[in-house]
Amino acid sequence: MEYAKNILETIGNTPLVQMNALVEGIDALVLAKYETFNPGNSVKDRMALKMIEDAEADGRLQPGGTIIEGTSGNTGMGLALAAIVKGYKLICVMADKQSKEKIDILRAVGAEVIVCPTNVEPEDPRSYYSVSKRLGEETPNAWYVNQYDNPSNCKAHFESTGPEIWDQTDGKVTHFVVGVGTGGTISGVGSYLKMKNPNVKIWGVDTYGSVFKKYHETGVFDENEIYPYVTEGIGEDILPANVNFGVIDGFTKVTDKDAAVYTQRLAKEEGMFLGNSAGAAIKGVLQLKEHFTKDDVVVVLFHDHGSRYVGKMFNDDWMRERGFLDEEVSTAADLIKDHVDKPLVTVKTGELVSHAIERMRKFKISQIPVVDANNSFVGSVDETTLFSKFIENKDIADTYILDIMEKPFPVVHHKTVIDDISKLITKDNQAVLVDLGDHVHHIITKYDIIKGIG
């Protein structure tokens, strides 16, 4: 009989799958290293097991100990599987930009999950880097994994992923393309492939808001390159020790929108239900196509599974809110379709300015239509007006809306084209009302127009 003695023995030996629809414009053969076939549904199973085995071997991880790691989710899942089989406790520290599915999955397999803010400096004591390191120091019988600097991360891919790709392509691989986060995959695979054939080109996929591409090209760690981004699993605001820049031939950067859009396209056009970094990776391949010839064999590695992104990249409402859906936007109705279900916020002529200010604060809006007792639009209030009136009179909060309101916002039909709407928004008029029929109206602001045509 043929069977694995435990789930850890099923890690590795993932298939190569030919890409078709999305790479029609590329002459080379493009093959996907499909890492979701690992038991934890990601490439991180490989290095998680390797890091644990090496820590056991040299005594850093003791029987019954606690494993602590900062993770975007996938490494945590690999560590969780190994912890279950080997009898360890696991604490995962994650940034709050990671999908809810990742957090829920880790808790489902018994991990304790601590969520930290994303938009803080790495050295900030609240960052997931700092929190995981501190817990590793404070927790009795604990081992802090530190996948970013742990050499076993890179070693796992040198010993398994790289040899698999070489053997599966019969040594014909000419390019390897992969998203870069901790650096273990690109450095381990890249080192192995270049050892077998120095002419193999190793390409990293980076994201805007990350430092890798500029650092590789200039040697400058530019803090101006660092800002929040949506794409999960790739890019960093630090330089992990596992990123071997000497092995990498070049980087290409992919936008958050393209990464998200191509994550959906992989599912709908290739039948590949994959994670966010896969969308970035295949878009990176398309951006690099001038580097490939008809005789080349390009291997792109897809990290993880789409089930971890159902509430994000596979949710059209989430995509629409961020302007990631490539939908035709030409009329007033198109501009408001992502929030048309929300009621129009108004203020009555007989209410006080303080009521308008409170509604602006509550609903995070800058303009409010004014209605009379018959709910007819008779005026408007915006933050610019309120500010100028406040300069004139510090007691404006107790003034009636009727006494400070400006003229009503223009009202347009829901089929009015964007160009005509744009002409109505001026320095003196900050919004337009849309008549949706049956006495239902909505509001369009400058932000809606910018978002719609952006």
pLDDT in tens, 352-390: 989 988 998 898 888 999 999 888 999 999 888 788 877
CA–CA gap between residue 100 and residue 42 (Å, rounded): 17
Domain boundary residue, one of 325, 351, 376: 325
Catalytic residue flag (residue 44): yes
Domain boundary residue, one of 299, 325, 351: 325
- Kindly report the length of the chain: 454
Residue 13 CA: distances (Å) to CA of 157, 160, 161, 162, 228: 12, 8, 8, 11, 35
Higher per-residue pLDDT: 343 or 167:
167
DSSP 96: T
Are 5 and 83 members of one domain?
yes
Mean pLDDT of the 264-272 span: 98
Neighbours of 219 (CB within 10 A): 8
Catalytic residue among 44, 194, 201, 257: 44
The two beta strands, 142-144 and 66-70, are parallel
Residue pair 212/180 in contact by the 8 Å Cβ criterion:
yes
Are 383 and 242 members of one domain?
no
CA–CA gap between residue 187 and residue 179 (Å, rounded): 11
Mean pLDDT of the 6-33 span: 97
Name the least confident of 25-34, 169-178, 320-329, 429-438: 320-329
Are 209 and 157 members of one domain?
yes
Are 301 and 377 members of one domain?
no
Are 379 and 246 members of one domain?
no
Instruction: Determine the number of helices (DSSP H) and then strands (DSSP E) in the chain.
Output: 17, 16
Assess whether pLDDT exceeds 90 at residue 335: no
Three-state secondary-structure class, residue 31: strand
User: Of 120, 259, 248, which is closest to residue 180 (Cα–Cα)?
Assistant: 248
Expressed as residue numbers, the domain containing 229 is 1-325
Neighbours of 411 (CB within 10 A): 14
pLDDT in tens, 221-267: 999 999 999 999 899 999 999 999 999 999 999 999 999 999 999 99
Count up the domains in the chain and report the number: 2
Name the least confident of 301-315, 323-337, 350-364, 434-448: 323-337
pLDDT in tens, 62-76: 999 999 998 888 999
Note the pLDDT of residue 327: 65
Cα dihedral sign for 352, 358, 360, 363?
Answer: negative
Q: CATH no. for residue 195? A: 3.40.50.1100
Three-state secondary-structure class, residue 166: helix
Note the pLDDT of residue 6: 97
Note the pLDDT of residue 107: 94
Residue 165 CA: distances (Å) to CA of 40, 161, 162: 20, 6, 5
Domain boundary residue, one of 309, 325, 341: 325
Assess whether pLDDT exceeds 80 at residue 452: no
pLDDT in tens, 383-411: 887 888 778 887 888 889 999 899 999 99
Are 134 and 25 members of one domain?
yes
Assess whether pLDDT exceeds 90 at residue 317: no
CA–CA gap between residue 145 and residue 54 (Å, rounded): 11
Residue pair 424/410 in contact by the 8 Å Cβ criterion:
yes
Are 382 and 411 members of one domain?
yes
pLDDT in tens, 130-141: 999 999 999 999
Q: How confident is the model at residue 453 (pLDDT cuts 50, 70, 90)?
A: low
Q: How confident is the model at residue 430 (pLDDT cuts 50, 70, 90)?
A: confident
Which residue type does 383 have?
Answer: E
Tell me the two tokens of residue 328: 């035709």
Are 269 and 160 members of one domain?
yes
